Amino acid sequence: MKRTIVSKFGGSSVENAGQIEKVKNIIGDSKNRKFVVVSAPGRDETHRQKITDHLLNVATSGEHLTKYVSVAQSKKAIVEKFASLLKGLGLKDEGLLKNVEEDFNTSLKGDARSAFLASRGEHYTAKIVAAYLNKSGIAATVCLPEEIGFVVSDEILCAKVLPETYANLAKLKEKEAVCVIPGFYGVTKAGEIAVLSRGGSDLTGGEVAYAVGASLYENWSDVDGVYEVDPRIVKTSDVIPRLTFKEIRLLASKGFNVFHFDAMNNCKKSNIPITIRNTNRPSSVGTMILNERVPEEDVVGIAKLDHMAYIYLEKEGLGETIGFTECLLSIFNQYGIKTYHYPTDKDDIAVLIKKEDLAGNINNLRSDIEAQLSPSSLEVVYDVAILSLVGIGMKYNSSVIADAVWTLKNNHIDIEMLDHGPAKISFHIGIAQQHANRALELLYEKLILKK
């Protein structure tokens, strides 16, 4: 059976003509790369803002980038970006720039206007990439979501893919040419343009891979793969060659922001491996994400969440009170505050959140918690960093936890919080923010390099 590869290229991969030339070379390198999903073209050269943000700035009459860029400046940046792509690739305009400017004047209002304009970055990039592939001798066709039946729900600023999409996309297998598909957006049953959550081009790629029964889903960006730890802090950190879907989800949820969560779901279900690779270094093998892997190293990666806080509650018997935790978390939800951990015991519980989410909320949040749950003690602890150790081999080697604690203790770094994941393949340590980078270096040396 012929292998079918779906290749998604992020904003940095289509940022300028030189990058799109690299994309063309990657596609031309394998006849199996039959489906190409593209993002909007990165940042502009003047303001260094993403094109999608410029489009949202136009949609919201300047509110989206109010502190930085005017509507007129955003319009200019958008048109100049597409004009530079056309010129750099030697493509004729053929009305594309006029269409961009006409889209600025859409009669749509409110969220519908924002969704439509936000989608235009991917929309026109797909047209440009397809045109350049054809010019370069690679037969390609643009497959717009509104034409191929990429059907999504009515939440037009954060839409979900509907089941009928998969049967519609499966028909693309009949096409001989390379299918170039704009990421990030779809169309509702009523025919409205709707966008997925930010980073949704990853999701588009994953859904296409699932629908066409791909043998591989490639995610091309400007990084070599998933690193063991943040390479900006630990310069010697290396790319992890293989991860399970479970491991990457745990790492991504704790600061490894390299991939859209939901993009993995159907690929995992269908055993479609995902590889994260660098458009600028296509010879680098990247990171492969699989359902299973060997060997089962104790720790493959350590993620770090900075500038966190936790709210600690104490009340006799709270751990035995049915509905206590549910009520507590619902209060955070009412304020739109995401919770990360909530380790609990017989008489106390701690809820981990981002420090910035408490700004402007903490007094009312505290009042609501005290009114509804009557804790005997409520304490807020700020400036905490969370180090998350992940590896499927930890399930069979509990000494990793002891080694981590011992390493920090030996280097006089106090521990604020400990939380062992129930699957036993992750372990989370809270420490003072000021010691976070040093702690990361120490744990990397001890648990990954095993020095």
Task: Quickly count: other Cβ atoms within 10 Å of residue 194's Cβ.
Answer: 27
Average pLDDT over residues 371-391: 94
Q: Which residues pair with 387 in a beta bridge?
A: 304, 429
pLDDT tier at 15, thresholds 50, 70, 90: very high
DSSP characters over 378-412:
EEEEEEEEEEEEE-GGGGG-THHHHHHHHHHHHTT
What's the pLDDT at 259?
A: 67
CATH superfamily of 5-222: Acetylglutamate kinase-like (3.40.1160.10)
d(CA 190, CA 182): 20
CA distance 366 to 307: 20
Q: Is-contact 278 285, C-beta < 8 A?
A: no
Encoded amino acid at 90, one letter: G
- The mean pLDDT of the chain is 93
Do 256 and 264 form a contact (C-beta atoms < 8 A)? no
pLDDT at position 349 over 80: yes
* Sequence ranges of the domains in the chain: 5-222, 301-448
Residue 28: is its pLDDT beyond 80? Answer: yes
If you average pLDDT over residues 394-417, what whole number do you get?
Answer: 92
| CB-based contact 209:172 (threshold 8 Å) | no
| pLDDT above 90 (res 254) | no
pLDDT exceeds 70 at position 248: yes
pLDDT band at 251 (very low <50, low <70, confident <90, very high): confident
Split at pLDDT 50, 70, 90, the class of 258 is low
Give per-residue pLDDT as tens, 202-242. Answer: 999 999 999 999 999 999 999 999 999 999 999 999 999 99
d(CA 267, CA 282): 22
The token duo for 259 is: 């991939």
Highest mean pLDDT among 163-177, 339-353, 391-405: 163-177
**DSSP symbols for 360-384:** TTHHHHHHHHHHHH--SEEEEEEEE
Residue-wise pLDDT for 155-187, tens only, equals 999 999 999 999 999 999 999 999 999 999 999
CA 80 to chain centre: 27
Q: Do domains 5-222 and 301-448 have the same CATH topology?
A: no
Share of the chain above pLDDT 90, in %: 83
Global pTM exceeds 0.75: yes
- pLDDT value for 252: 78
344 compared with 309, residue with greater pLDDT: 309
Q: Quick one: average pLDDT of 237-259?
A: 83
- Residue 1: its pLDDT value, please? 43
Report the CATH architecture of 301-448.
2-Layer Sandwich (3.30)
Do residues 167 and 203 make contact, with C-beta atoms less than 8 angstroms apart?
no
Give the whole-number percent of the chain exceeding pLDDT 70. Answer: 98
Give the CA distances from residue 135 to residues 10, 122, 130, 179, 401, in Å, rounded to whole numbers and listed in that order.
22, 20, 9, 15, 57
